[in-house]
């Protein structure tokens, strides 16, 4: 998979997106597992059952770096701060189920994470599949700038 790497030094938050950012907790375990299964299919074309993602969901929640965008208390999108280094922090697992897409939720959750990271003195970065123009557009609208293409190669 060919990906674009992006860095964001200045955040442009979307206007008028309903909802709030919320740190994922154990009460969200089943929904996070459902989102991880959806992400697997959307990003990699690998269909998995949400029940197979419970362990991964537990681990992600326990890190304290998985965030959800909530509407009336219900998760509609997620994003994760995967890694922090002395200068950068990588965002991944950005996912919105198809029923909630095109409403700005992924834009909002990623923009809020960028604001958190910049307030910590870190430069947010992420990778986006070049075959996913919607994701690339979202990230550029937030303020991410291209920093080079990379290849994600999987060996079997």
pLDDT beyond 90 at 138: yes
For residue 148, the cross-strand partners are 5
What is the spatial distance between Cα 54 and Cα 35, in angstroms, rounded to a whole number?
11
pLDDT tens, position by position, 60-110: 999 999 999 999 999 999 999 999 999 999 999 999 999 999 999 999 999
Rounded to whole angstroms, the maximal C-alpha distance in the chain is 45
pLDDT beyond 80 at 154: no
Could you tell me the residue ranges of all domains in the chain? Answer: 2-151
Cα dihedral across residues 102, 79, 8, 127: positive or negative: negative
The DSSP annotation for 115-151 comes to: HHHHHTT-EEEEEEETT-HHHHHHHHHHTEEEEEEEE
Q: pTM of the prediction? A: 0.93
pLDDT tens, position by position, 43-61: 888 999 999 999 999 999 9
152: confidence class by pLDDT, cuts 50, 70, 90? confident
Q: Which residues contact 131 (CB under 8 A, 6 or more apart)?
A: 1, 2
CATH code of 2-151, in short, is 3.40.630.30
């Amino acid at each position: 998979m060919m990906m674009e790497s992006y860095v964001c030094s200045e955040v442009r938050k979307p206007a008028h997106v309903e909802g709030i950012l919320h740190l994922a907790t154990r009460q969200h375990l089943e929904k996070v597992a459902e989102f991880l299964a959806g992400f697997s299919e959307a990003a990699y074309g690998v269909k998995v059952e949400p029940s197979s993602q419970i362990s991964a969901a537990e681990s992600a929640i326990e890190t304290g770096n998985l965030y959800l965008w909530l509407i009336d208390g219900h998760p509609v999108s997620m994003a994760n701060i995967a890694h922090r280094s002395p200068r950068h922090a990588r965002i991944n697992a950005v996912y919105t189920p198809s029923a909630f897409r095109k409403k700005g939720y992924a834009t909002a959750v990623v923009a809020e994470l960028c604001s958190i990271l910049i307030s910590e003195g870190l430069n947010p970065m992420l990778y986006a599949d070049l075959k996913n123009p919607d994701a690339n557009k979202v990230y550029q609208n937030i303020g991410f700038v291209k920093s080079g293409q990379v290849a994600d190669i999987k060996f079997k």
